[in-house]
């Protein structure tokens, strides 16, 4: 037990001694570390001071350099400003010297002007005095002339003006007459040249349309079947088509008569289908006529489309295309209306090209000029005005509408296409063989024209020429003066308009000749 206590005491003492020794060693190490740290701090401070001195010197040098640079820039600005000030002072001095010289010149000019004004005033006074003297002398001369001529100055002036006016009027009338004659000759030559070239370039065959069609039969036995029991088949066919069917003794033929070509064509095709099929009775007739009518309507539309394509016309309204197709089954004085309109369209295109106008627009107006002749319902309105209304309704240009409405002078022409269409329409209708009229009525109309002319005093001869389109009247120069000749032409035209019915226009030309005849013996 005691040994254990001793061991513990010894251990405690040893532990205390070790702790004391450790503390001593730690203190020595700490002092050594502190000294090292102080030494390092002193060296760091020394280095920092040295570096601070270096930086301070650099900054001072940079500041000096910046100051020197700013000073030099400031000196440059000062020098530049001083230079500008000196230049401005120099310009000011130059202007002052210039102004002073100008003032000197102005003073000099003013002095000269004053002297010239004074001289001018003196001359003006002298001229006034001389003018007064001249006026006095002029009045004295006029008074002497009035005494000598027994006329006042106003009367003499009036007579002189009248004579000069008459002379000027005569010269002006002569000049105007010569100019007009020359212009007429030139215009007629050019117009004749264009028209002849156009006619020569457009050559078409003429085909006269009849008002009857002949339907050929294989045998006369078919006639009885067409007539039917108590004529019921033929009555049904006439009622359905509106065509007069003439069954006479003509062998193997039936005549279809109607002025409407469409109805006549429907009747012909329907009759052909009925005869081919063999079933002919009223119900079958109505069915065939209905189908044929639809077929003809489709054909009309197809003909219209083909026509506008052939002529190179685009953008035409479908209703107008349909109207063009209906022209195939219309005739005017025996001339097929579609052939006539196609010819007029080509003539208008050629003539418009010769005159430097739009040929496509001219073709359009030429093709549509007679669409008023194919109305679906009858109307009392002239065909030209009706066609113009249709064209306006379906969006045609104003030039085309005016050309359609004015080609028979129902309205006033407002553009150059209108007279072209009128002329081409006349050319197409005037071709030999283009139109047909009954010979007796034609001769009677010409005779009536000449008789109207002979009904006026002073007329010696009268000739109806150009197929009745012109009436030439010869008058006696002793009984009819030039003014009376113009009046006579007007009176004859009025008489023709009131007493006669005729297609187109009639031109009345009154010719007055003065002849002087002497005989040398």
- Tens of pLDDT, residue by residue over 298-337, are 888 888 888 888 888 888 888 888 888 888 877 766 677 8
The pLDDT score that the predictor gives to residue 263 is 76
Longest dimension (CA), the chain: 216
For 115, 208, 235, 335, the CA distances from 433, given in Å and listed in that order, are 98, 8, 37, 9
337, 287 contact by CB (below 8 A):
no
Banded pLDDT at 207 (limits 50, 70, 90): very low
388, 461 contact by CB (below 8 A):
no
Out of 96-105, 319-328, 374-383, 453-462, which region has the weakest mean confidence (pLDDT)? Answer: 374-383
Segment (H or E) for 465: strand 459-465
pLDDT beyond 70 at 137 = yes
The pLDDT score that the predictor gives to residue 193 is 60
Q: Which residue has the higher pLDDT, 217 or 50?
A: 50
What is the chain's Cα-based Rg? Answer: 60
pLDDT beyond 50 at 208 = no
pLDDT beyond 70 at 205 = no
Q: How far, in Å, CA of 355 to CA of 417, rounded? A: 10
Please, what is the Cα angle at 367 between 311 and 415, to 5 degrees?
115
Which distant-in-sequence residues (6+ apart) come within 8 Å of 145 by Cβ? 153
Q: How far, in Å, CA of 438 to CA of 211, rounded? A: 13
Segment (H or E) for 509: strand 507-512
The pLDDT score that the predictor gives to residue 185 is 66
The pLDDT score that the predictor gives to residue 99 is 83
The pLDDT score that the predictor gives to residue 439 is 47
* Beta strands in 242-362, from DSSP E residues, in sequence order: 244-246, 253-257, 331-332, 335-336
Calculate the average pLDDT of the chain. Answer: 79
pLDDT beyond 70 at 93 = yes
If you search the block for the tokens 């106008």, which residue do you land on?
357
- Percent above pLDDT 90 for the chain: 0
What digits encode the pLDDT tens for the residues 166-195?
Answer: 777 777 777 777 777 776 666 666 666 666
Q: How far, in Å, CA of 404 to CA of 406, rounded? A: 6
Domain 212-430 has CATH 1.10.155: no
Per DSSP, 474 falls in state E
If you search the block for the tokens 């007007």, which residue do you land on?
490
Q: Which residues pair with 60 in a beta bridge?
A: none
Here the tokens at position 350 are 């050629």
pLDDT beyond 80 at 142 = no
* 3-class DSSP state of 456: coil
Banded pLDDT at 206 (limits 50, 70, 90): very low
Q: Tell me the average pLDDT across 367-392.
A: 83
Segment of 37-46, 87-96, 369-378 carrying the highest mean pLDDT: 87-96
pLDDT beyond 70 at 293 = yes
374, 368 contact by CB (below 8 A):
no
The residue ranges of every structural domain in the chain are: 212-430, 439-512
> How is domain 439-512 classified at the CATH fold level?
Alpha-Beta Plaits (3.30.70)
Q: Which residue has the higher pLDDT, 427 or 502?
A: 427
Q: Single out the residue of 367, 350, 361, 418 nearest to residue 198, CA to CA.
A: 350
Banded pLDDT at 209 (limits 50, 70, 90): very low
Q: Single out the residue of 383, 369, 371 nearest to residue 422, CA to CA.
A: 369
Buried-exposed string 480-512: b where 16+ CB fall within 10 A, e elsewhere:
beeebbeebbebbbeebeeeeeeeeebebebeb
N- to C-terminal Cα separation, the chain: 215
Per DSSP, 470 falls in state E
Which distant-in-sequence residues (6+ apart) come within 8 Å of 330 by Cβ? 261, 262, 336, 337, 338, 373, 374
Out of 196-200, 396-400, 441-445, 492-496, which region has the weakest mean confidence (pLDDT)? Answer: 196-200
What digits encode the pLDDT tens for the residues 406-448?
Answer: 888 888 888 888 888 888 888 877 655 555 554 456 667 878 8
Residue 407, phi then psi, degrees to nearest 5: -75, -10
368 CA to centre of own chain: 19
């Amino acid at each position: 037990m005691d040994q254990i206590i001793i061991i513990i005491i010894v251990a405690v003492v040893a532990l205390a001694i070790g702790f004391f020794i450790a503390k001593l060693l730690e203190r020595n190490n700490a002092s050594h570390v502190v000294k090292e740290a102080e030494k390092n701090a002193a060296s760091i401070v020394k280095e920092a001071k040295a570096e601070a001195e270096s930086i301070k010197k650099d900054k001072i040098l940079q500041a000096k350099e910046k100051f020197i640079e700013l000073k030099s820039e400031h000196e440059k600005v000062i020098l530049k400003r001083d230079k500008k000030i000196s230049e401005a002072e120099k310009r000011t001095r130059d202007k002052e010297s210039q102004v002073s010289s100008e003032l000197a010149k102005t003073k000099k000019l003013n002095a000269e002007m004053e002297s010239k004004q004074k001289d001018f005033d003196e001359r003006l006074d002298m001229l006034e005095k001389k003018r007064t003297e001249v006026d006095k002398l002029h009045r004295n001369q006029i008074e002497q002339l009035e005494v000598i001529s027994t006329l006042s100055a106003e009367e003499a002036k009036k007579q002189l003006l009248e004579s000069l006016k008459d002379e000027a009027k005569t010269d002006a009338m002569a000049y105007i007459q010569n100019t007009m004659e020359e212009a007429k000759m030139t215009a007629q030559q050019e117009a004749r040249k264009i028209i002849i070239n156009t006619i020569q370039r457009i050559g078409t065959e003429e085909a006269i349309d009849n008002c009857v069609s002949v339907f050929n039969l294989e045998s006369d036995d078919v006639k009885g079947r067409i007539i039917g029991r108590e004529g019921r088949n033929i009555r049904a066919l006439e009622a359905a088509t509106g065509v007069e069917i003439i069954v006479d003794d003509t062998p193997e033929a039936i005549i279809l008569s109607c002025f409407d070509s469409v109805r006549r064509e429907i009747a012909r095709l329907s009759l052909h289908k009925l005869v081919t099929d063999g079933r002919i009775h009223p119900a079958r007739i109505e069915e065939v006529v209905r189908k044929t009518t639809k077929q003809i309507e489709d054909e009309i539309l197809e003909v219209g489309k083909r026509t506008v394509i052939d002529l190179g016309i685009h953008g035409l309204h479908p209703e107008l295309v349909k109207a063009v197709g209906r022209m195939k089954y219309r005739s005017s004085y025996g001339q097929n209306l579609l052939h006539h309109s196609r010819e007029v369209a080509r003539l208008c295109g050629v003539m418009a090209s010769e005159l430097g106008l739009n040929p496509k627009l001219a073709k359009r107006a030429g093709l549509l000029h007679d669409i008023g002749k194919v109305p679906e319902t009858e109307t009392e309105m002239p065909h030209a005005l009706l066609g113009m209304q249709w064209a306006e309704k379906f969006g045609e240009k104003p030039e085309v509408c005016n050309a359609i409405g004015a080609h028979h002078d129902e309205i006033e022409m407002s553009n150059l296409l209108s007279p072209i269409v009128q002329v081409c329409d006349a050319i197409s209708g005037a071709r030999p063989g283009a139109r047909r009229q009954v010979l007796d009525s034609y001769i009677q109309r010409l005779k009536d024209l000449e008789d109207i002319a002979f009904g006026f005093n002073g007329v010696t001869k009268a000739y109806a020429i150009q197929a009745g389109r012109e009436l030439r009247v010869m008058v006696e120069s002793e009984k009819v003066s030039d003014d009376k000749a113009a009046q006579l032409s007007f009176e004859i035209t009025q008489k023709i308009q009131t007493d006669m019915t005729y297609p187109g226009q009639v031109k009345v030309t009154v010719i007055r000749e003065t002849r002087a005849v002497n005989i040398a013996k």
